[in-house]
């Protein structure tokens, strides 16, 4: 399955404001430079637009805006692999799925009431960086 990166968001501190950026530097075994998850097990978070669209329909809204889920990378795919060890190639980087991202209580304010339920099994994945490099909006995405 192939797609592209549609948005990248970074937050410098846990709970801090997410910032939309055109590119981010992925560092092997660390994550995205400047992001709150840098150096933790939850290095990079990724969400698919198809899953956001399904959650938006369940919520009765037109769409869930990029960055509202606080995930780092948004990709235009129908879904993402959830299996531990699945690989996601983004531009020159290779990421490995670590686990599914469960929606937290913050989603109720950042997305809207009912978001936590609507985003269950649709809130993206956490991944580790196997091969680093620059990730840019518009980069190709390949699931392997």
pTM for the full predicted model: 0.94
Residue 75 contacts residue 97 (beta carbons within 8 Å): no
Do 116 and 108 touch, CB atoms closer than 8 A?
yes
- What are the CA-CA distances from residue 112 to residues 4, 63, 74 (Å)? 26, 11, 19
Q: What percent of the chain has pLDDT over 90?
A: 83
What span, in angstroms and rounded, lies between the C-alpha atoms of 143 and 77? 10
At 60-80, the pLDDT tens digits run 999 999 899 999 999 999 999
Q: Which residue has the higher pLDDT, 133 or 16?
A: 133
pLDDT-based confidence at residue 104 (cuts at 50, 70, 90):
confident
All domains in the chain, ordered by first residue:
2-12+19-143 (2.40.33.20)
Whether 63 and 56 have beta carbons less than 8 Å apart is answered as yes
């Amino acid at each position: 399955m192939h797609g592209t990166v549609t948005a990248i968001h970074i937050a410098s501190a846990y709970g801090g404001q997410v910032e939309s950026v055109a590119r981010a530097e992925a560092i092997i075994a660390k994550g995205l430079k400047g992001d709150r998850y840098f150096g933790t097990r939850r290095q990079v978070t990724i969400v698919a637009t198809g899953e956001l669209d399904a959650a938006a329909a369940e919520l009765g809204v037109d769409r869930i805006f990029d960055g509202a889920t606080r995930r780092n990378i948004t990709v235009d795919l129908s879904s993402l692999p959830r299996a531990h060890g699945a690989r996601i190639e983004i531009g020159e980087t290779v990421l490995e799925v670590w686990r599914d991202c469960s929606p937290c209580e913050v989603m109720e304010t950042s997305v809207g009431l009912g978001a936590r339920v609507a985003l269950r099994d649709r809130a993206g994945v956490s991944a580790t960086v196997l091969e680093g490099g620059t990730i840019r909006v518009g980069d190709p995405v390949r699931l392997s």
